[in-house]
Amino acid sequence: MIGEPAGSCGQEATSLNALLDGELDAANSLRCETHVAQCPACAAELERLRALRARLARDGIAWRAPAALRARILTTLAEEAGRAARDGNATPAQTQAPDRWAARLRAAATRWGGVPAGLALAASLALAVLVTRPDEGPDLSSQLVSGHVRSLLASHLTDVPSSDQHTVKPWFSGRTDFSPPVVDLDARGFTLVGGRLDYIENRVVAALVYRRRKHVINLFLWPSDGRRPRASAREGYNILGWQQAGLSYWAVSDLNAVELKEFQDDFAEGAPR
């Protein structure tokens, strides 16, 4: 079995996998590495585990968790942290939880690249069950704000960091089922930061990121579903929605409503109609 230290001497048997995964602190890593350097049995076992991981990581064996699952987990964590903060029940550990869990999920996703499909799927489903609430999902405004906050908390503002619209737009090709327009608004005072994928209303959407001074604007967009967007404010964030050329646009920011409306007008003028 993976990780079964059958060939070790037993003294550091439980530490070999943790050492290989980078999960030991500095003191324990040094202790384990010193032991391995002096113990042929543990050195051979560590090499066996490394070789096994390399074989499992080959094409056709590994299965990587979908980006939508990762986005859904981070959405739920951000929503839980936001509710705790609003209710005044958040402890320092709770407010830092989304960032900590995001880091752990990123590390897990990297390791899943070297895990057989069945085991990776089981781990994915287990995480989904742990973070899925039995009550009804939040409304669209709540999801948009959660997506905006999540991008800041999880240090995942962009998947493709670039101020060049000709770099950001092609990046979405093959990753979304539509082609999101990317508009250069630097001359208008809105600097393009990049783009990423997000997860809103049970679907993967495009998110374009702009910055106005120190204010971040997340512009979420996906094919129009026919609903009439409207302006609103929630939890200190302004939300501005519109439809254009078959797409629904939702801008979310702590920028004041007047300047956010300027952003909408400038973007709508530069985007296809």
Question: Across the strands, what pairs with 222?
Answer: 248
Q: Distance from CA of residue 161 to its chain's centroid?
A: 14
250 and 152 in a single domain? The answer is yes
Listed residue (235, 238, 232, 270) closest to 254, CA to CA = 238
Instruction: Tell me if the pTM is above 0.85.
Output: no
| Residues 169-211: tens digit of each pLDDT | 999 999 999 999 999 999 999 999 999 999 998 899 999 999 9
Structural domain of 101: 67-137
Contacts of 92 (CB under 8 A, 6+ apart): none
194 and 224 in a single domain? The answer is yes
89 and 187 in a single domain? The answer is no
The CA distances from residue 29 to 20, 21, 106, 244, in Å, are: 10, 11, 21, 56
β 247-253/232-234 pair status: unpaired
Helix (H, G, I), strand (E, B) or coil at 145: helix
Q: Which residues of the chain have pLDDT under 70?
A: 1-8, 10-12, 57-65, 67, 70, 77-138, 154-155
- Residue 4, domain member (yes or no): no
Q: How many domains does the chain have?
A: 3
23 and 73 in a single domain? The answer is no
199 and 251 in a single domain? The answer is yes
At 259, the amino acid letter reads E
100 and 193 in a single domain? The answer is no
| Residue 270 host element (H or E) | helix 257-270
106 and 133 in a single domain? The answer is yes
By the 8 A CB rule, do 247 and 241 touch? no
At 60, the amino acid letter reads G
149 and 258 in a single domain? The answer is yes
At 48, the amino acid letter reads R
